[in-house]
Amino acid sequence: MLCAIARCGERGGLGRRGLLSRKESAAGAGIRGRARVRSAEMKPTIADGHVVTLHYRLTLDDGSIADESFGGDPLVYLHGANNIVAGLERQLTGKAAGDKCEVQVPPAEGYGDYDPTLDQTVPRSAFPADAQLQEGLAFQARDRNNQPITLWIRKIAGDEITVSPNHPMAGQNLNFSIEIQDVREATPQEKEHGHAHGPQGQDH
């Protein structure tokens, strides 16, 4: 999927008009021009070990909005640390602050294909009596090897609860509208912990 790039324009400074001679002003303008070029060339792009701040809107193929950050806090994540779905991470690589793009992630690089054989029906009594159950609810359980696993409630029919390890968006294309706000080098602590500590690297 190609992305339309919309980089933020740079605002030139007012300079010291009247304090420099015409020659010095011209020379200074040339230096500033080269400095702006070098600054643009050094603009960090998204790569492993970088913290990315972005806004997103996620829609499904039926046009419904599944999730979005616009109007709220942006998403802040550590690139290359499996903090987001693989297909989105791959297509954001190389982008920079100010870029906007439309990204489609197929199931194979998103939440996988839906496998109905993994669904199972359990009695309501398998849950705590005071649990507030609803379709789409995620909860933690243990598999046959006593390893933690995330399950979702897919259907409630009386005392029969259908649960599944399939993500609710498994088997669906994920259509993202992205606006990248900032890209910076991750701190050593963020790299060690495997996630971002906020936009400035100081939250935890």
Q: Which residues contact 52 (CB under 8 A, 6 or more apart)?
A: 46, 76, 77, 78, 79, 92, 180, 182, 183
Radius of gyration over alpha carbons of the chain, in Å? Answer: 24
| pTM score of the predicted model | 0.73
Name the nearest CA neighbour of 75 among 189, 177, 188.
Answer: 177
* Residue extent(s) of CATH 2.40.10.330 domains in the chain: 116-164
Residue at token pair 């998204």: 46
Q: Please name which of 75, 76, 57 lies closest in space to residue 67, comparing C-alpha atoms.
A: 57
CATH 3.10.50.40 residue window(s) in the chain: 1-9+23-114+169-204
CATH of domain 1-9+23-114+169-204: 3.10.50.40
Q: How confident is the model over 135-194, as pLDDT tens digits?
A: 999 999 998 899 999 999 999 999 999 999 999 999 999 999 999 999 999 999 999 999
CATH number of 116-164: 2.40.10.330
**Per-residue pLDDT tens listing for the chain (204 residues):** 323 323 333 333 333 233 333 334 344 444 445 545 554 557 899 999 999 999 999 999 999 999 999 999 999 999 999 999 999 999 999 999 999 999 999 999 999 999 999 999 999 999 999 999 999 999 999 988 999 999 999 999 999 999 999 999 999 999 999 999 999 999 999 999 999 998 877 666
